[in-house]
Chain A
Amino acid sequence: MIISFRGPEWFYGIDVIIEIILTLIVLGLVVYGYKAYKLTKQKKFLYFFLGFLIIALDFFIHSIINAYVYYNIIKFNYCSLSCQLGSIKYLFYNCLIFYSIMHLFAYFLLSSMYIKFKNKFKIMFLLFTFFAIILYFRPYLFNIFAILFLIPIVYYAYKNYYTNNNLKSKLVFMAFTSIILAHIFFFLEIKYIYFYVLGMATLLIGYSLLLYLLILVKKNGKKTR
């Protein structure tokens, strides 16, 4: 099993901080999704809530495990890394696969808000099995699958922006476009490790746009009082 840790060495730990920030931003969306579902019991809000909840948990678990991995890299010196960190690499690899599968699962739920699938649970089970097998052997394919799931979301977000032509729908469209772009950079990471840094930065921009949207939504509520 040939694996390496992601990104340049100086970036170890910064990605953990970014993922914790992303967790907090996504949790803001989870709260609204939960409130909307509790009030209306509509499936679209359930998918919104579950999709973002999985993403938040995924970021959080990933950041904690990465922090543990980086801590061990610092603890052991670099020259003995290859012989002493076999189990750490195994943990890092399995965490990455778990992160990828859960993220795809979340994107599937988010795309379900826009597209109606028949036999949703059957499709989810089949996809889950398919991704688990494929990603175990080819983890880098995660980004290709993620882009495929995000394309319909970006399309509907653009359609919504085109119809409404307001800042809030523009933010959603730009946020999902940034997330797609981040996955493209993550895919290119196999060629050049600095694309991981670029990917994380783009992901942060994407979710920051959603944070800005949450701030506008919160202000919107206050104005109407």
Chain B
Amino acid sequence: MTSPREQIERYLRRLADWRGDELTFMEVCGTHTVSAARSGLHSLLPRSIRLISGPGCPVCVTPVSYVDHALALSKLPEVTIVTFGDLVRVPGSSANGPEKAPPSLAWAKARGADVKVVYSPLDALELARELKDRQVVFLSVGFETTTPVIAAALQQAIDSGIENFSLLTANKTIIQPLLALGTSSEIKIHGFLCPGHVSVVIGSNAYRSLAEIHGIPCAIAGFEPLEMVRAIVALTEQVSQNHPRVDNCYRAAVRPEGNSKALEVMFKLFEPCDSVWRGIGEISDSGLKLRAEYRKYDAAQRFKVELPPVLEPLGCRCGDVLRGVISPSRCGLFGKSCTPDSPKGACMVSSEGSCAAYYQFRQEDGK
């Protein structure tokens, strides 16, 4: 049996045969960003094939106003904020204000706010069970991989009559931003390397309109370098055959119809809404919010707080990075005033952010 390295080399030789125009493919998954950066995949591809990162890191596309909202809630004496780890270091708005230290949730925690990091929303539910006199607010961010998990946890809370549990939601869906980017005049994208685990839930059929109506090649990829290269070969073939379609290169887990049980619980509790993407702006129907009948579990409804005016960090170009318009090193802050130890923008905070991945693995600019 051929080794993975031999297989990768074989695929790379096929890519090297590409004689057409320069191709730009976009991956839209933080895990792809990290896998590609760690393996040096960009430098292995021929010069005529470029792989860029898109808005696939949920923390990176969460607007500053959401962090401000979480910070405001963390000041309420009865509230315990519970979150996935990546979000705690994202600076809120007044980072540009008189305070020198950027106010992140980690900053608030150091000053006495009750902020806890968990692996699963079930851990947040467990905290609500234990801390009966506290209001547990779970920071509900993520794409379709994570939203069903949060919905299932909320369903468990409802079934168990746990009332001191609520969600601050900023959940997002993947198809709408792909459509916005794929049809944008700002940058020409020749195909999408579609996120493997979002696709587990939404299914490969979810991308068909992108490919069949809008003519944008799609290939769903797993997370090993071999699996990503295989998907890049699939995209290149679609371009050369002038036949945009959806190639499912992650068949071990992705079915055409997705995970119907996960979709069912997600859409039972959540419904589509317009949503603001950091650096991109508002995209119609690209978010998920709690349905009216579950609104009492919405922390934004349960607690009324004053929010500061939104201020993006000065000079930060996370938005251009998220749209694939520039590579991270083109930002004036990159590696200077913005580093993983002292991040200004969300793309440097999250380990899955393009800037953090570029910084850690020292990618060359322009590839």
Partners in one complex: no
